[in-house]
């Protein structure tokens, strides 16, 4: 299991990060959360962003 250290980031935790992405990409939070769950924590900062770019188009 991947453990993300949120200290030193702009977000307090995963939920806050996903909310930020939802706002940034103008996508429903539920969509962002579902994609994050599907892709897994390893893809939170890469694959998830790519997926959100596709969804936001």
Q: Which of 30, 1, 8, 2 is nearest to 18 (CA)?
A: 30
Q: For residue 6, tell me if it sits in a domain.
A: no
The model's pLDDT over 29-54, given as tens digits with 9 standing for 90+, comes to 999 999 999 999 999 999 999 999 99
Q: For residue 41, tell me if it sits in a domain.
A: yes
**pTM given for the model:** 0.87
CB count within 10 Å of CB 17 equals 20
Q: For residue 31, tell me if it sits in a domain.
A: yes
Tokens of 57: 């188009």
Please tell me the predicted confidence (pLDDT) of residue 1.
Answer: 58
Q: For residue 46, tell me if it sits in a domain.
A: yes
Q: For residue 2, tell me if it sits in a domain.
A: no
Handedness of CA 57, 26, 17, 9 (dihedral sign): positive
Q: For residue 21, tell me if it sits in a domain.
A: yes
SS3 state at 8: coil
Question: Which band of pLDDT confidence, cut at 50, 70 and 90, is reported for residue 4?
Answer: confident
């Amino acid at each position: 299991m991947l453990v993300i250290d949120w200290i030193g980031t702009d977000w307090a935790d995963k939920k806050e990060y996903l909310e930020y992405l939802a706002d940034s990409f103008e996508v429903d939070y539920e969509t962002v959360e579902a994609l994050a769950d599907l892709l897994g924590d390893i893809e939170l900062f890469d694959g998830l962003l790519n997926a959100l770019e596709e969804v936001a188009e």
